[in-house]
Amino acid sequence: MQNQYDVIVVGAGHAGCEAAAAAANMGSKVLLLTMNMQTIAQMSCNPAMGGIAKGQIVREIDALGGYSGIVSDKSAIQFRMLNRSKGPAMWSPRTQNDRMLFAAEWRKMLEQTPNVDFWQDMCKNLIVSSDGKRVEGVVTGMGLSFKAKAVVLTNGTFLNGLIHIGEKQLGGGRSGESASHGITEQLVQLGFESGRMKTGTPPRIDGRSLDYAKMEVQEGDEVLDKFSYLQNTSPFISNANPPTLSKKQLPCHITYTNPKVHEILKTGFEKSPMFQGRIQGLGPRYCPSIEDKINRFSERERHQLFVEPEGWETVEIYLNGFSSSLPENVQYKALQHIPGFENAKMFRPGYAIEYDYFPPTQLKLTLETHLIENLYFAGQINGTTGYEEAACQGLMAGINAHLKINEKAPLILNRYEAYIGVLIDDLVTKGTDEPYRMFTSRAEYRLLLRQDNADVRLTELSYNLGLASQERYDRVKQKINAYESIINYFKNTSAEPDILNPFLNSIQSAALTQKWRYFNVLSRPNISIANLIEHDEGLKNQLNSFDNETIEQAEILMKYEGYIEREKENADKLKRLEDYKLSPDFNYNAITGLGLEATEKLKKFKPLSIGQASRISGINPADINVLLIHLGR
228 Cβ neighbours under 8 A, 6+ residues apart: 62, 69, 70, 72, 73
Looking at CATH, the fold of the domain delimited by 204-350 is given as Elongation Factor Tu (Ef-tu); domain 3 (2.40.30)
Largest CA-CA distance found in the chain, in angstroms, rounded? 83
Those residues with Cβ within 8 angstroms of residue 346's Cβ, 6 or more apart along the chain or in another chain: 203, 204, 205, 206, 328, 331, 332, 335
> How is 104-128 classified by DSSP, letter by letter?
HHHHHHHHTSTTEEEEES-EEEEEE
**Domain 4-45+101-201+355-437 class, CATH top level:** alpha beta
Residues 6+ apart with CB under 8 A from 604: 361
pLDDT one-digit tens code per residue, 360-416: 999 999 999 999 999 999 999 999 999 999 999 999 999 999 999 999 999 999 999
Cβ atoms of residues 129 and 149 within 8 Å: no
For residues 142 and 35, give the distance between their C-alpha atoms in angstroms, rounded to a whole number. 11
Return the CATH number of the domain spanning residue range 580-630: 1.10.150.570
Model confidence over 178-196: pLDDT tens digits?
A: 888 999 999 999 999 999 9
Q: Kindly report, residue by residue over 191-211, the tens digit of the pLDDT.
A: 999 999 999 899 999 999 999
Question: Rounded mean pLDDT of the chain?
Answer: 93
Per-residue pLDDT band for 596 (boundaries 50, 70, 90) equals confident
Identify whether 360 is preceded by a cis peptide bond (ω within 30 of 0). Answer: no
Q: What angle do CA 396, 620, 577 make, to 5 degrees?
A: 50
Q: Rounded to two decimals, what is the model's pTM?
A: 0.93
Closest CA to 13 of 37, 40, 46: 40
Residues written for the chain: 633
233 φ, ψ (degrees, to nearest 5): -110, -10
Same-fold call for 4-45+101-201+355-437 versus 204-350: no
CA-nearest of 278, 282, 274 to 384 is 282
Q: Give me the mean pLDDT over the 252-272 stretch.
A: 95
| DSSP H or E segment with residue 419 | helix 419-425
Distances (CA, A) of 139 to 126, 130, 262: 6, 16, 48
Q: What is the pLDDT of residues 418-436, one digit of tens each?
A: 999 999 999 999 999 889 9
| Domain at 470-563: CATH code | 1.10.10.1800
- Dist CA 89 CA 110 (whole Å): 33
Determine the residue type at 572.
D
Domain-wise residue ranges, the chain: 4-45+101-201+355-437, 204-350, 470-563, 580-630
CA distance 509 to 498: 14
Question: How far, in whole angstroms, is CA 471 from its chain's centroid?
Answer: 25
Q: Identity (one letter) of the amino acid at 557?
A: L
Each residue's pLDDT tens digit, 479-535 = 999 999 999 999 999 999 999 999 999 999 999 999 999 999 999 988 999 999 999
CB 362, CB 193: distance < 8 Å: yes
Reduced to 3 states (helix: H, G, I; strand: E, B; else coil), residue 477 is helix
| Element housing 491 (H / E) | helix 470-492
